[in-house]
Amino acid sequence: MLVPTTHPLQAGLTAESPLISAYRGIRPATTPVWFMRQAGRSLPEYRELRVGTEMLQACLTPELASEITLQPVRRHAVDAGIFFSDIVVPLKLVGVDVSIVPGRGPVMGKAVRTAADVAELVQNDPAQLDSALGPIIDAVARTVAELGTTPLIGFAGAPFTLAAYLVEGGPSKDHIRARTMMHADPESWAALMTWTAEITGRFLRAQVLAGASAAQLFDSWAGSLSPEDYVRHVAPASARVLDFVRDLTFEASGTETRVPIVHFGVGTGEILPQMRDVGADVVGIDYRTPLDEGIRRLGASVPVQGNVDPAMLAAPWNILEAHVRDVHRRGLDAPAHVMNLGHGVPPETDPTVLTRVVELVHSL
């Protein structure tokens, strides 16, 4: 499906940006950099805007979501915006009782624990999401109009990470109940994975159609899975999510291309090749795996993103600087490298440090 000419990739605005070039495996002159959770509590201008508005309400208010997405791009001069939203937004939009509790994260009104719970949930037709995505499409369209030549990254949560919240009822450490359902009731598990893929895939597709130049799939909690469980019980659903964006093609600089797909999870050093194999172009590596080691595990042929340790952001500058230089050096083993953190920006981070990291990376 060829999409309209106004898309930033098709308009020639973002196709040759450092970020999109790197995601395509072409090393740009300067290393692109952005930060997971760059929008959010580390920014005083974000905290100010959010006063009196609940998190999910902010996500569904296009002017707010757009402004919050733009704040870190203006302040830090990062190479990409990441759409301000949350992985549970599509669940909310199909009527799942979910809220985001400050300081905690997504909490469900009712956990999905039994076969009957799953059967009830999946009765909810994923196709009805399409008519509820208006605020997301509006927010993305406004944002890309402001971003110009800076690409916007759209994102979605992978089925396993979403199921970890649905089954546990909220944040959990080892996602034990979700991993038990996978083995104790594989049929319900498969039904839950399929339904979740349909929901989250639609959310991702809408962002790409509305103007996102890249797509990142967050399987944040996949690191709690063995490689065997990942491949058997999770990977097919993640691949299904990516089918929702794989068929969208853009004519950029005379060639037909699709949006690059990035796949990231925390503690996933043991399943990096499996995460690429679901159909990712770029693999995000968390801070636990040295970047060059991650690149080696991926066969040295895959562009990578990562992996500054978020804990270093609060260390003295000379220590942080040495660490960023070290990550940059290790990243030279890949065809291309996008600098990022190994996970999200801690809320207490001094934002001037992030700006300084961007300046450093661009100077390397």
Q: Which residue is nearest to ligand 1CP (CB)?
A: 105
Please indicate whether residue 276 is annotated as part of the active site.
no
Q: Quote the least distance from Cβ 180 to ligand 1CP, whole Å.
A: 18
Non-local (6+) Cβ contacts of 339 within 8 A are: 31, 32, 33, 305, 306, 308, 324, 327, 328, 331, 361
Q: Amino acid identity of 120? A: E
Please, which residue, 115 or 311, has the CB nearer to ligand 1CP?
A: 311
Known binding residue 333? Answer is no
Task: Please give the Cα distance from 8 to 211 (Å, whole number).
Answer: 6
| Active-site annotation holds for 74 | no
Cα R_g (the chain), whole angstroms: 19
* Residue 144, number of CB atoms within 10 A of its CB: 27
User: Per the annotation, does 41 bind a ligand?
Assistant: yes
Q: By CB under 6 A, tell whether 106 contacts ligand 1CP.
A: yes
- Residues 6-65 contacting ligand 1CP, CB under 6 A: 36-41, 55
- Which CB sits closer to ligand 1CP, 158 or 302? 158
Check residue 135 and give left, alpha or beta (phi > 0: left; psi -120 to 50: alpha).
alpha
Task: Tell me how far, at minimum, the Cβ of 26 lies from ligand 1CP, in Å.
Answer: 25
> Does 356 interact with ligand 1CP (rule: CB under 6 A)?
no
10 or 38: whose CB is closer to ligand 1CP? 38
Contact positions with ligand 1CP (CB under 6 A) in 258-277: none
Q: Is 285 helix (H, G, I), strand (E, B) or coil?
A: coil
Q: Is 262 helix (H, G, I), strand (E, B) or coil?
A: strand
Using CB under 6 A as the binding rule, whether residue 87 contacts ligand 1CP is answered as: yes
Nearer residue to ligand 1CP within complex by CB, 41 or 296: 41
User: Is 38 a known ligand-binding residue?
Assistant: yes
Q: What is the DSSP string of 192-236?
A: HHHHHHHHHHHHHHHHHHHT-SEEEEE-TTGGGS-HHHIIIIIHH
Q: Write down the least CB distance from residue 246 to ligand 1CP, Å.
A: 21
Q: Based on the shown chain and the rule CB under 6 A, indicate whether residue 105 belongs to the binding site for ligand 1CP.
A: yes
Residue 84 binds ligand 1CP (CB under 6 A): yes
328 is in an annotated binding site: no
For residue 86, indicate whether it is catalytic.
Answer: yes
Question: Quick check: 319 and 341 in contact, CB under 8 A?
Answer: no
- Contact 302/339 with Cβ under 8 angstroms? no
How open is the CA angle 220-60-195, to the nearest 5 degrees? 50
Query: Beta partners for 33?
Result: 339
What φ, ψ does residue 154 adopt, rounded to 5°?
-90, 160
Subset of residues 145 to 184 that bind ligand 1CP, contact rule: CB under 6 A: 155, 161, 171
Structure-token match 């962002």, residue found: 207
Would you say 269 or 335 has its CB closer to ligand 1CP?
A: 269
Among the listed residues 23, 46, 75, 165, the single catalytic one is 165
Select from 239, 246, 277, 282 the least CA-distant residue to 264.
282
How many residues bind ligand 1CP, per CB under 6 A?
Answer: 21
Least distance (Å) between residue 141 CB and ligand 1CP: 17
- Residues annotated in a binding site for substrate: 37-41, 86, 165, 220, 343
| Residues labelled as active-site residues | 37, 41, 50, 86, 165
Chain residues binding ligand 1CP by CB under 6 A are: 36-41, 55, 82, 84, 86-87, 100, 102, 105-106, 155, 161, 171, 218, 220, 344
